């Protein structure tokens, strides 16, 4: 099945599909001890900053300063004091858990950016969602969302692929990216260009037709993805690649 969107990072990729789901579906929880939740929130900030510094250093060593600067830009957003002060205020005034408070504040900022008339600022809403995912993962699971290890080469498929996934531990196994969201200036797209990963966006009905583990071809030139390609389509892919 061929689905068409727009090509935003040139090249061809062939690998098994890995479906990336959006984790920002959250059920609110209340604090049993406000002081403990405030301490947990502060600790999650320090942990998230440490995680991003390690990612930036790894990317800088392997790919140079330009992609590392994108991670550093996200870190600036992460360390915005108002973000954490507002979350702390919600713990104190609404008796929310640390995760619920941070989710509320960060998603509010993301929604505000989504409606901005400036395209650059509108695309930064994805960075807010990425930061929210990182902090929630720390608070709820004590995990680094970029600590992803794929067993084989993959084509990342999803509604939206965030920078933390593109910069994951198995970056070298990402052979293509395809997403439903229509964007050509998001940080995930810019990173795919810098890493040489073919990428297509704005692909309607992608997720509902994708199948984890099945092969796919991403054509970043034409902005297409072929799900479960035939032998003939695979042969054409390798001919065009080589």
Per-residue pLDDT tens over the stretch 23-55: 665 668 898 899 999 999 999 999 999 999 999
What CA–CA distances, in Å, run from 212 to 111, 169, 177, 216?
Answer: 30, 20, 14, 10
**Cα–Cα dist 79/46, whole Å:** 9
**From the CB of residue 30, how many other CB atoms can be counted at a distance below 10 Å?**
12
Phi, psi angles (nearest 5°) of residue 9: -145, 120
**Cα–Cα dist 137/33, whole Å:** 20
Q: Do 185 and 123 contact (CB within 8 A), yes or no? A: yes
Domain 2-22+147-241 has CATH 3.40.50.410: no
**Which architecture, in CATH terms, is 34-141?**
Orthogonal Bundle (1.10)
Check residue 239 and give its pLDDT: 81
Entry pTM: 0.91
The rounded radius of gyration (Å) of the Cα atoms in the chain is 19
Continuous H helices in the chain: 34-63, 65-78, 81-94, 98-114, 119-123, 125-141, 163-166, 187-195, 206-209, 231-241
CATH topology identical between 2-22+147-241 and 34-141: no
Q: Do 169 and 147 contact (CB within 8 A), yes or no? A: yes
**Cα–Cα dist 86/57, whole Å:** 30
Helix (H, G, I), strand (E, B) or coil at 22: coil
Check residue 238 and give its pLDDT: 79
**Cα–Cα dist 28/227, whole Å:** 37
Tokens of 131: 């930061």
Q: Which residues of the chain have pLDDT under 70?
A: 23-27, 241-242
Check residue 242 and give its pLDDT: 57
Q: Please list, in sequence order, all residues whose beta carbon lies within 8 angstroms of the beta carbon of residue 28, skipping any fewer than 6 positions away.
A: 96, 97, 100, 103
User: What is the enclosing helix (H) or strand (E) of 230?
Assistant: none
- Any idea where the domains of the chain sit in the sequence? 2-22+147-241, 34-141
Q: Do 3 and 179 contact (CB within 8 A), yes or no? A: no
Nearest to 161 by CA among 225, 117, 221, 87: 225
């Amino acid at each position: 099945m061929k689905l068409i969107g727009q090509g935003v990072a040139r090249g061809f990729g062939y690998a098994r599909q890995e479906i990336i789901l959006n984790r920002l579906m959250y059920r609110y929880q209340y604090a049993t001890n406000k002081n403990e939740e405030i301490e947990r929130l502060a600790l999650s900030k320090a942990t998230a900053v440490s995680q991003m510094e390690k990612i930036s250093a790894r990317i800088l060593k392997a790919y140079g300063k330009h992609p590392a600067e994108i991670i550093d830009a996200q870190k600036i957003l992460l360390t915005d004091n108002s973000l954490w002060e507002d979350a702390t205020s919600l713990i104190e005034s609404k008796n929310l858990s640390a995760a619920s408070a941070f989710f509320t504040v960060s998603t509010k900022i993301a929604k505000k950016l989504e409606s901005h008339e400036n395209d650059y600022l509108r695309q930064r809403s994805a960075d807010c969602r990425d930061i929210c995912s990182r902090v929630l993962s720390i608070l709820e699971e004590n995990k680094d969302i970029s600590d992803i290890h794929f067993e084989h080469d993959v084509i990342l498929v999803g509604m939206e692929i965030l920078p933390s996934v593109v910069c994951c531990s198995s970056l070298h196994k990402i052979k293509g990216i395809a997403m439903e969201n229509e964007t050509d200036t998001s940080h995930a797209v810019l990173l795919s260009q810098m890493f040489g990963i073919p990428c297509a966006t704005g692909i309607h009905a992608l997720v509902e037709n994708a199948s984890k583990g099945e092969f796919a071809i991403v054509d970043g030139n034409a902005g297409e993805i072929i799900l479960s390609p035939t032998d003939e389509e695979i042969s054409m892919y390798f001919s065009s690649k080589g």
